[in-house]
Amino acid sequence: MTENYTALYDQHKKAGASFTDFGGWQMPLKYTSELAEHHAVRNAAGLFDLSHMGEVWVSGPDAGAFLDYALAGKLSAIAVGKAKYSVICDADGGIIDDLISYRRGEEKYLVVPNAGNATKVAAALAERAANFDVAVEDVSAETSLIAVQGPNAEAILLQLVPAEQHALVTGLKYYAAAEVGIAVDGAVHTLLLARTGYTGEDGFEIYAPNDDAAGLWEALLDAGAAHGLIPAGLACRDSLRLEAGMPLYGNELTLRVNAYSAGLGPVVSLAKESDFVGKEALAAIKAAGVGSTMGQKLVGLKGLGRRAARGHYPVLKDGTLVGEVTSGQPSPTLGYPVAMAYVDVEYSEVGTVLDVDLRGKAERFEVVALPFYKRSK
């Protein structure tokens, strides 16, 4: 696989980042300490380069109807300016990706798949568009995505937004987006600003052409310096999303799991009148009780000892295999190990104590409700 670099690679190098491959991209893992970066996002703000994420425009008279068919949610029902979290499934109900769709007009949506799945999703959308009057345009390569996350995110962003547009930013609701003027290199550029994130904190994601990325990055770093903003890498992004109970594609979500086992039942709209890819399979899965009365389901695990569970570790009950950990690590915010795991439904009740096999030694974990961490409003 060829290695991809974002438009901010030089900024990361200058800042002393250590890099990791993620979905075929060389991305900053951390700049200094992943713990310091994690705490900065919880207590002040962190700046993330998410340019590896995909961006696919869907436009045309059938845009809403097409996405209703291509994705599991009812995208035609969201208002212009709002966003919706959804999944794209294969015919068997397996999850190809989880993604966010922003409705940018009556006939225009921006669909944002994960980095490693962007090509696959763009191809699936193009294929599924055959009988619809829509255009599907993958602009991932030309588009950068920068996120400011944390309690100080709004204050930082407002410094770069002209005063007459402040109300646009302060009034922007969670899972909504707007075109907002942002000062980059001394000029105001109109960019797509979304109040979304993957950290469990308040925050924004800004979509920008690659040419604006470096200037926007530097401007945000400058504006944030007095507010405790530091650049933050993928290591802390992972610990932040895990604490917030958010699934990661490749860990919690794969082609082999379905939305009901993954706890994403509510994002599947079996009620929508139109057909969608995977509908028949998902209806049968739901009717059979997969994830509710049979099979496995995704749960949160809280470590009762100090040692952390990691991905792929076996989950045991009285020595018998009952599941597998999908993600796990010590929680920097909570101070104890947290994990997500698929376990047999009969052991998925909150309060159930299970063992995780930590390299040959069993450690006790308790099933707890997700998320592990919820910010105080």
Minimum CB distance to another protein smaller for 33 or for 43: 33
What backbone phi and psi angles, to 5 degrees, belong to 62? -95, 10
How far is it, in rounded angstroms, from Cα 30 to Cα 11?
A: 13
- Would you give the binding string for another protein spanning residues 176-215, x where CB under 8 A is met? ----------------------------------------
Is 205 a known ligand-binding residue?
yes
Count residues near another protein (CB under 8 A): 16
Rg over alpha carbons for the chain, rounded to the nearest Å, is 21
- Is 312 near another protein (CB under 8 A)? no
Residues with Cβ within 8 Å of residue 6, at least 6 apart in sequence: 25, 27, 49, 51, 52, 144, 213
> Residues 341, 310: contact at Cβ < 8 Å?
no
- Is 314 near another protein (CB under 8 A)? no
Residue 102 CB, nearest approach to another protein (Å): 32
- Would you give the binding string for another protein spanning residues 329-368, x where CB under 8 A is met? xx-x--------------------------x---------
Residue 19 CB, nearest approach to another protein (Å): 13
Residues with Cβ within 8 Å of residue 290, at least 6 apart in sequence: 258, 260, 261
Residues with Cβ within 8 Å of residue 362, at least 6 apart in sequence: 316, 355, 356
- Is 35 near another protein (CB under 8 A)? yes
- Would you give the binding string for another protein spanning residues 291-310, x where CB under 8 A is met? ---------------xxx-x
Minimum CB distance to another protein smaller for 29 or for 169: 29
Alpha helices in 202-266, H assignment, sequence order: 210-224, 234-243
Specify the pairing of strand 83-89 against strand 95-105: antiparallel
Out of 27, 156, 182, 235, which residue is the one contacting another protein (CB under 8 A)? Answer: 235
How far is it, in rounded angstroms, from Cα 182 to Cα 53?
A: 21
Residues annotated in a binding site for substrate:
205
Contacting positions for another protein (CB under 8 A): 30, 33-35, 38, 235, 238-239, 306-308, 310, 329-330, 332, 359
